[in-house]
Structure 1
Amino acid sequence: MTQTANPDRRRFFRQLLDGANPNAPQRAAWHRVPEVGAGDGDVLWSGWAGDGEVFVVGDEAMVLHFDGQTDAHGRLWKPMATPGNLPLHDIWGLSRDSLFAVGWMGCILHFDGTRWTQQRGGVIDDESQAFTPCAENTPLFAIDGNANGQAWAVGDDGMILHYDGDAWQREKSPTYINLRAVACTPNGSVYAAGGEGTVLHRPPGGGWEALDCPLGSGFQTLLVVDDDTLLLGGGRYFIDQGGFRGELVSYAGGRFEAVEVDTPMPRLRSLRPYKDGVLIVGDRGYLFYLRDYLTGARFATRKPRLYQLESNCHHDLMDIVALSTGEALVVGDFGTIMTAAPDFIDALAPAVSAEARKPRWEAMDSPTDRQLWNLWETPQGVCYACGEAGTVLRLAGNGAQWEQLPAPTELNLHCVWDAGRGGLYAAGQFGRIFRFDGHDWQLHFDLHLDVTILSMWGTRPDSIFAVGDEGLVLHFDGLGWKRLPSGTASALYHLWGMDDEHLLAVGDFGLVLRYNGRDWTDFAAGTENFLYGVWGDALDNIYAVGLSGTLAHFNGQRWNLLPIRVRDDLLSISGSAAAGVYAVGTHGCAVRLEGGQWQSEPTGTERGLRSVIATRGGAVYAVGDQGIILRRR
């Protein structure tokens, strides 16, 4: 007779299978994120993640920023400039362009996407130069906000501050007990919690009221399960145990109940949703996964399953940073940042759908297997490519086929340029420039030096510029080529301009030179990474790309380094009104500017892409290693 498995048996076998799965939440080992730029003496209190970036705050006004790019010192976790040196305990924001960090002495810092400024706290007496014992200097420990941009911060002595979108104002609190946690619910309520079992509630549009909690736990954290259900964590000091003992408390249906578990816990610091359960962190490196906590349930019939996770850490863990992929970071004492994700970079970005993974780029038939270095489009819409061993290609057949032109030289050609009349120019090794009249190539200029010309740009046939190795700058005035002083001996990899009085050249160690029609001057981009390409469509909208995914933007006033989840070198950038803006680089990397954000695009190749052109007609082409030519569908 066949016996049907009952629900208890199915649950039992499901648990056995999960136990054998090393990637199950209760089995995956946590490990430290590499290359964190914090010292062993630094306490990291909290963090925020979004759009592929992470901000972690800690002692001494520390803010560590991760966006996948390295700084001048090769650091991936970059310390940001912040006012003052007060410890920062928590951070919140709706986007990376508006973040708030709160901390000691009532300090509130705001990040506008460019820099941190102090909005409140840290008042110093003019005579004693010590912190004034005033309400504004009351330490703050937690902040949370809602989708409307309103936020609440809480701290010592029952302090509650409200941000209405414009300014911070103090709200009347029903307690003087220290508050350590605050959270907003979807329906507009706000809860706060702290010492001696204190739990406060602020209904939508109302004032704060104290809830009757019969448990005396010192709450450090609270998790909103739904509008009227909470899970709170903290602990109390027990003399007979010689230390803190962690406690979990549920609030549902207007009642508080202790959550009984079999596993002893230290003082708990943070609770966050995690893979269909709750992730819990505490003192001495303890990590737990609460598996059976269900929305709105109160464990009336059985104890929840609490798993202790492998952390290989003995430092106090302070907070959990949820990532959009469902993974998480844990931060704590001694500069600790941990994750269970196998690859931290992948964990920052949401999973890409199968449709999005389909390459938008397709390979075109190429008449060469030589490396291709450069693309150019004439005003008439004709595209050319050039490369190794004198290779010059032209796009024919209404953009369907590339044809190979006669080679002007056996030397490598690194750039090609054509104003539409006056001939096609190609340049490269040994400072030689060749001109094609439609039938034959002729040597147009010879520098007689072992210096490579890397880029050309011009406004008309009698005004062409060229740049290259060792700070080389040349100008053709219709009569001849002349060398111009550049003020540098560093390589200049690419040249772009709006007219004869507005040119930029980029090169080694973040070098940007600006030409005003008379002189070349330094125009620092704020990075020491090599820059390989530059493009813009206006003097207040210019992009430069380079080493390790460097992408800088000039807005007419300053350069800003942009967050981009790319570690490959970006070698070229181009744009047009019809096609958009694209950058390409090593290992087949391609990114596109869409909706103000840079999005990676699969190209279907691992070959390096050396140049990209976004044509006036809307087509986009990229060329690179082994003669590869791609067209974006």
Structure 2
Amino acid sequence: MVVLVLLANLVGCSDDPGQLPPPVHDAEWRVQQQYVDLDGYAVWGSSDHDIFAVGVSGRIIHYDGNAWNLQSSGLYRCFYDVWGSSENDVFVVGEWGWIYHYDGYTWGPMESGTTNHLYGVWGSSATDVFAVGSGAILHFDGNAWREMEEHRGTLSAVWGSSPSDVFAVGSHGDGLILHYDGSEWTQMISGSVGDLLWDVWGSSSTDVYVTGKFGRIAHYDGTDWSLVTGGTENYYLTGIWGSSANDIYAVGSRGSIVHYDGSIWSQQTSGTDSQLNGIWGSSATDVIVLGEQGTLLHGDGQDWAHMTSTNGDYLFGIWGDDKGVMFAVGHKGAVQRNDGNVWIPMECATDATLAGIWGSSESDVYAVGSGGTIMHYDGTAWSSQANASEEYLFAVWGRTADDIFAVGERGTIVHYDGSTWEPLASGTGDDLWAVTGTAEGSVFVMGSAGTILRFDGNDWFSMESGTDAVLRGAWAGLETDVVAVGDQGTVLRFDGIDWREQSVGIDEILYGVCGLTGRDIFAVGSGGVILHYDGNVWSPMESGVITDLRGVCKGPKSDIFVAGYYNTILRYGED
């Protein structure tokens, strides 16, 4: 249980000093949005708001009824199939005998006892699960996986109507169909169903379908297998699923989808030419199709539509006010706004990459970026502001609406006095990555090679940091409580006299830091890293993502917001 007593802070992500917001109890990180790009093979769910899809590079994505989000498997092998008995008992299988299990909280590996590729998984219950693949059939009894039978050939899918009626299909020269009766596996006489079978599904033990090469669909009536006409001879059909005997879909190459209504098979318009591999539905009006190149389709029983989480923008900066208005900025002029409901793209009139953002209010917001770009939002529209420097600006921060600093490449510092932006002499040629300050008047700038500059209201002077790491993020509470973060997991703390390094136990890059108080600080970085400081130690937090996290800020109700790659935005706080 995470219990945080959240106090007020002064600067950047601050409330008025002395205010005590309500404590946040049992808070956790939640993904508000994230771009999903998956070359997918299989999809399965326990309900319409609990769906898993798997594919290349160990990727697992989950749909919660609102958006698709990445889940971390920690493995970079292909996953070929997924099945579960419930939302907290899910299995995925893949290359080299890998089997992963999800318990409702985390994914972890299971000992399969084989190094053969596994292509299919299905079960009748949590204690009766089958996995098939290259030359092997495995069974899980709730405690351990064991090999049931070796065979020649490759099995690509498995499905059953009961523990004693299980079908596995694949190829061994010709199309291969095996049947398990609860005691042993036997090969079935499949006739001329084809030389390569990919998937199997049925509505009952006497109504089973397999799909394969050249659009072949074969049907089993409990006695014999026979070919049926699908009108897809020019396609490969790699997946099949139905909600009933009279509502069945098969999917495959070049975006092909065919539907069976109990009488005939007919082609449907998918709206894509991508290879489609997997299909599953929670009902006749809620069907998911998964394919290559990030293809995700949803069928409502009438039409097919593309499912997308968001675009794939890289987000670098995030800022918000206490009223609940949030802004995030990123690659190629990307700007998004959230007024408490959803994140919506904004027109920003620039193609420059925007790296930093800060505002004095929701109608006075500044974003800075490549080529010395400075954009201003007045509550209605974004407009460009004149800047004497063309150097890349990485960060912006202000004490008031007419006292704002932006920092960037080659020691660049520019200051806004409410009328114009003017360059300031920094005394360094190092890249400057972060800027923050205190209500008492000090401004701190962090940069490459451990550079730290301090502005006392009149002059800039260099401070001894004790490190040569690149410092990429900064946050200040009081004059005696300033934090800088950077490469190799570097965290520095200023106590008003000296900078001292703090141990965090990681070596990932830390890009951003924000605190609610000096005893409640968050740092974010590469690979989905989030650290929390409680006044004594830094501890890792489970972010739920594996993408780089670049910006962090305080939002309304003392919630913490994080922005990162692949359009990722996270929120930490109570519902």
Whether 1:294 and 2:260 are equivalent positions in the alignment is yes
Task: Give a deviation string over 1:537-580, Cα, whole Å, max 9, x none.
Answer: 6888846478xxx8654466447786599xxx987543413496
Whether 1:192 and 2:167 are equivalent positions in the alignment is yes
Distance 2:203 2:513 in 1: 50
The answer as to whether partners of 1:581 and 1:592 remain within 8 angstroms in 2 is no
Give matches, 1:87-486, under 5 Å: 90-92=81-83, 100-102=91-93, 108-110=99-101, 117-122=108-113, 142-144=120-122, 152-155=129-132, 159-163=138-142, 167-168=143-144, 180=155, 181-183=157-159, 191-193=166-168, 197-200=177-180, 215=190, 222-227=199-204, 229-232=207-210, 248-252=217-221, 254-259=222-227, 270-273=238-241, 277-279=249-251, 294-296=260-262, 320-322=277-279, 328-329=290-291, 339=292, 344-345=293-294, 347=296, 350-351=307-308, 360=344, 375-376=357-358, 385=366, 415-418=396-399, 424=403, 426=405, 428=407, 446-451=425-430, 453-461=432-440, 464-475=443-454, 482-486=461-465
Partner amino acid, structure 1, of 2:485: A
Give matches, 1:444-593, under 5 Å: 446-451=425-430, 453-461=432-440, 464-475=443-454, 482-486=461-465, 492-496=471-475, 503-506=483-486, 512-517=489-494, 518-520=499-501, 533-535=512-514, 542=522, 544=524, 552-554=529-531, 557-558=539-540, 563=545, 572-578=551-557, 592-593=569-570
Structure 1 residues 392 and 159: CA distance shift in structure 2, 3 A: closer
Secondary structure of the residue aligned to 2:166 is strand
Structure 1 residues 554 and 162: CA distance shift in structure 2, 3 A: farther
The answer as to whether partners of 1:213 and 1:256 remain within 8 angstroms in 2 is no
Distance 1:35 1:456 in 2: 37
Q: How many residues get paired?
A: 444
Partner amino acid, structure 2, of 1:574: C
Distance 1:363 1:511 in 2: 36
Distance 1:440 1:234 in 2: 68
Partner amino acid, structure 2, of 1:143: V
Distance 1:79 1:358 in 2: 28
Task: Give a deviation string over 1:216-251, Cα, whole Å, max 9, x none.
Answer: 78996543243553213579xxxxxxxxx9975313
Distance 1:95 1:472 in 2: 53
Gaps of 5+ in 2: 1-36, 62-71, 171-175, 268-272, 282-286, 298-305, 311-337, 533-537
- Residue 153 of structure 1, CA deviation: 2.0
Gaps of 5+ in 1: 1-33, 37-43, 58-62, 68-77, 123-130, 132-136, 202-206, 236-244, 281-286, 306-310, 330-338, 597-633
Distance 2:251 2:259 in 1: 11
Distance 1:265 1:392 in 2: 58
Secondary structure of the residue aligned to 1:259 is strand
Secondary structure of the residue aligned to 1:516 is strand
Distance 1:577 1:541 in 2: 16
- Residue 350 of structure 1, CA deviation: 0.8
Structure 1 residues 551 and 575: CA distance shift in structure 2, 3 A: farther
Distance 2:233 2:421 in 1: 80
Q: Which structure has more RCO (C-alpha within 8 Å, separation ≥ 6)?
A: 2
Structure 1 residues 426 and 144: CA distance shift in structure 2, 3 A: same
Which structure's CA Rg is the greater one? 1
Secondary structure of the residue aligned to 1:142 is strand
The answer as to whether partners of 2:130 and 2:139 remain within 8 angstroms in 1 is yes
Distance 1:449 1:485 in 2: 14
- Residue 160 of structure 1, CA deviation: 2.9
Structure 1 residues 304 and 215: CA distance shift in structure 2, 3 A: farther
- Residue 415 of structure 1, CA deviation: 2.9
Distance 1:408 1:291 in 2: 55
Distance 2:178 2:351 in 1: 72
The answer as to whether partners of 1:102 and 1:109 remain within 8 angstroms in 2 is yes
- Residue 258 of structure 1, CA deviation: 1.2
Distance 2:145 2:38 in 1: 39
Root mean square deviation, CA, Å: 7.1
Bigger strand share: 2
Partner amino acid, structure 2, of 1:250: H
- Percent identity between matched residues is 17
